[in-house]
Structure 1
Amino acid sequence: MSEHPIESLMGVTMQKIREMVDVNTIIGDPITTPDGTVIVPVSQVSYGFASGGSDFPSKKDGRDCFGGGSGAGIKITPVGFLTVCKGEVRMIPVTESEGTFDKVMDIVPEAFDKIGSFFKKDKKKNKDNGTTPEITVDDNEVEM
């Protein structure tokens, strides 16, 4: 029995994943500092794999009409550093700290809400006295 085309798609994808992710990706190469401390980076590797295909009817007997594809995704996350210093082994975890971009992204929705409320206040004021709306922002109302 001959190999189905989806098997070769899956085989090539898995082979490429094996080439990218080896034991040195998870447990990195040891680094020795001038004072003799050995530092070994440790990472978490996650990957997903998907493949699919379909056989189509063929007008000619013995001819295989197949369409398919496969793909994979890999995520490598640093976990920490294994250190060996003067006979003492320690694991130093990597903690995720919020960078400037993360902080800005947390503030943006709140800022849009406040800006929107300024527009609503001004429209309501101007609707009551019959004038055209004027957009103003009072420094005392802006908080971030």
Structure 2
Amino acid sequence: MTVTIRPAEKRDILAVAELIEEIERFYGSTEVQPLDERESQVEEALFGSPPMASALLVEDESGDLVGLAAYSFLWPAAGSSHSLFLKELYVRDTLRRQGVGAQLMSELRTLAASRSGCSRVEWMTDRDNPGARAFYKSLGFTEFDGKIVYRVDTNTA
């Protein structure tokens, strides 16, 4: 199947908001924000002033959104350089194992390499996600075992 990978545009807000529900359900969520809230958050994140993130979208031959790579640039990385941080890589199950994820990773590496001062691409995956870990290993990436991730919700005291 032929797909197109391109940057997200304002016309994609609804489709991205809908895909986010699919992603949430893929990760086991049973409660998902209402669509209008997701749309508002997608618009603010990708097209606010300044935008908080960027996204590459995957369209299938019929123009349906079937995947995304959401990322941001973080500073500092190595020395005073910055990195492209991949927050979410998702490909609809009907297109998995067809090279679409590999195409997204290649495109992200190209984006990072073309940005002056960007020294690397970084991302995380859950230890209990063997499919993702096998995917990254198949692309020749090795796991980095040096960081511990912390998280605190902003709405708790």
- Interval containing the TM-score (normalised by the shorter chain): under 0.3
Provide TM-score, normalisation by structure 1: 0.22
Provide TM-score, normalisation by structure 2: 0.21
Larger strand share, 1 or 2: 1
